[in-house]
Structure 1
Amino acid sequence: MLIFASVMIKKLVYICILSGLFFSSCKSNRSLVSSLPPQISAEDSVRIVNTKISSSKKSSGYKGISRVRTYNFTHPDVPAAFDGFRIAFVSDLHYKSLFMEKGLDNLVKLLREQHADVLLIGGDLHEGCEYVQPVIAALSEVKTPMGAYAVLGNNDYEACYSDIVREMDKRGMHLLEHKVDTLRRYGEEILIAGVRNPFDLKKNGTSPTLDLSPQDFVILLTHTPDYAEDVPITNTDLVLAGHTHGGQVTLFGLYAPILPSHYGQRFRTGLEYNSRLTPMIITNGIGTSNKNIRLFAPSEVVMIILHRQKD
């Protein structure tokens, strides 16, 4: 028994050492920025109390994507016309990595089966310029009723940026670089805001949500969850982010020795909140960075189902 325990401890130490090598292409070079002030308005308090979020997980049934994680998101600002609205969210494909051709085909099939009303994409699409065209072409085949909206990640800004912009434009996909777009349904609307390069706060440190109305239902799409803590994201009701890969290599899903976030474990995965208690859904993503391995950080497609807070 002691021999077995000793072997297991040695393996965990080995994993901790190796994991330090796994995220070199995902790390941010930003210095720590002060968090938002803790004051919360009475109006914000009412929204926080009335926001209800539940989640569930199930196996995807497809090779290359471990699971589908579904969040039921109930909020007073969700318009009646968007009650039951289905959002598919994918991020960090890093195609090709551990995520290969068969996985990409399976992702399209899986997304179609979710019957989403809109597809949102969180960035880090590729691991080489030659893969830009096939990965964007595949995502464009999902064909949701309200189209596809995307932001880009650090990999996408470092290489092949113009190729990505051209391919998305060619296929009618909406790239939200510090832009806000409107989704309309039966005379009502929700807003999707996207952050341009969230690692460059000197240029992009003013959230595109600041000029919106508190009464609007606003989803902020950003590659890294750190952005929602680094800068005020006033008027945002829900943040969707990726970048962390859920740690990619974790100790039994509880702790990641290395995370590409300057807030430590705080925004590793799942449902979290910034200092103003804005809910954030952080996906583990689909592909892998640098080393093609995942350990207790399953790849996933995220589904968000909106619900109107009943009076």
Structure 2
Amino acid sequence: MTAVLAAAGISLALALYVHQTWVVQRTWTMLKRPSALKQDLTVVQISDVHGKTTFLNGNISGMVNKLKPDIVCVTGDLTNHLWQLPKVLRELGQIKCKYIFFIPGNHEWYDYIGLRQRMYTPEQYAETMRRLRQAGIVTLENECAVVPLKGGKVAVCGYDNAFYGNEKEARPPAKENIAYTIALGHSPNIVHFLERSGIGFDLLMAGHTHGGQIRLFGRQHGKYGHFHIGHKQLDTNRSFYINRGLGTVLIPLRLGSRPEIAAFRVGGSRPRT
């Protein structure tokens, strides 16, 4: 009897580990479309890949392509180690979207040897950014890009808070007559910088927290425990989304915080995928 209970417990723990760590959840958030934007818009966010490109329910590119995005935003932390970068770039290169944007996270600057942090050189960081651009991905480091859609121009502004203090003001060009603004930061603390600087946005996306990665009693613990997970409506016209990310750091385990790919539908109804 004891052996049966032990086997059942081990099986349950294994099933929980597999479901929580190796099965990606695709989440949809429906957002109001401003009148200035004359078409519905699908935006997909990927965050905190940490070198992990394949899951039990598919690879990243396949899951993203099913969502048929107009814009894809990657909010930092592509790898845990630099040797993983070619694999991640090959995967991102399979995404079928004309407009893919990237902002750096803290793991673009260092990795871990055991529990010891090892900083990359400025040259190694620059090479990562170069290879992203070579792969056709637009890198945003405190700058804005304009996406000229048929229904209006969308600004995508990326802020470099891979380390706090790197952030600098970047605003959509006034002359472009922007219909919708997406802001990107790796850490959710970027919201405080934007508010202090009076920088407006319609949708803000961040990652970094992994949703706690291991959540106990349904709560996120640690220094980011005061932040929400997923979507939060800041006011009538502004949304703030914190993505749980895809990979893991230090401990290859998730609990109560499944990996996710976040999709946003600005206007209209949720597409069939």
- Counterpart residue type for residue 258 of structure 1: G
User: Deviation of residue 235 (structure 1)?
Assistant: 1.9
User: Deviation of residue 242 (structure 1)?
Assistant: 0.4
Name the SS of the counterpart of 1:246 in structure 2: helix
Q: What TM-score, normalized by structure 2, do the two folds share?
A: 0.76
1:244 is aligned to 209
Q: For residues 116 and 275 of structure 1, what CA distance do their matches in structure 2 show?
A: 25
2:161 is aligned to 197
Q: For residues 205 and 144 of structure 2, what CA distance do their matches in structure 1 show?
A: 14
- Counterpart residue type for residue 154 of structure 1: N
Q: What TM-score, normalized by structure 1, do the two folds share?
A: 0.68
User: Which aligned pairs between 1:19-58 and structure 2 lie closer than 5 A?
Assistant: none
Q: Does 1:297 align with 2:257?
A: yes
The runs of 5 or more residues in structure 2 that have no matched partner are 1-18, 111-119, 269-273
CA contact (8 A) 1:181 1:192 kept: yes
CA contact (8 A) 1:122 1:222 kept: yes
2:180 is aligned to 217
User: Which aligned pairs between 1:222-233 and structure 2 lie closer than 5 A?
Assistant: 222-230=185-193, 231-233=196-198
- The one of 162, 169, 176 equivalent to 1:207 is 169
Q: Deviations over 1:40-97 (max 9, x none)?
A: xxxxxxxxxxxxxxxxxxxxx9x834210001111425511x32x11111000011xx
Identity of aligned residues (%): 21
Query: What is the aligned length?
Result: 235
Q: For residues 169 and 235 of structure 2, what CA distance do their matches in structure 1 show?
A: 16
User: Deviation of residue 197 (structure 1)?
Assistant: 3.0
CA contact (8 A) 2:47 2:245 kept: yes
User: Deviation of residue 245 (structure 1)?
Assistant: 0.4
Q: Are the structure 2 counterparts of residues 187 and 112 from structure 1 closer, same or farther at C-alpha, using a change threshold of 3 Å?
A: closer
2:89 is aligned to 136
Q: Deviations over 1:78-136 (max 9, x none)?
A: 511x32x11111000011xxx36556961111111111122110000001111112101
1:107 is aligned to 60
RMSD value over aligned CA atoms?
2.8
- The one of 192, 197, 221 equivalent to 1:257 is 221
- The one of 67, 70, 75 equivalent to 2:28 is 70
1:148 is aligned to 100
Q: For residues 131 and 104 of structure 1, what CA distance do their matches in structure 2 show?
A: 21
Name the SS of the counterpart of 1:217 in structure 2: strand
- Counterpart residue type for residue 74 of structure 1: K
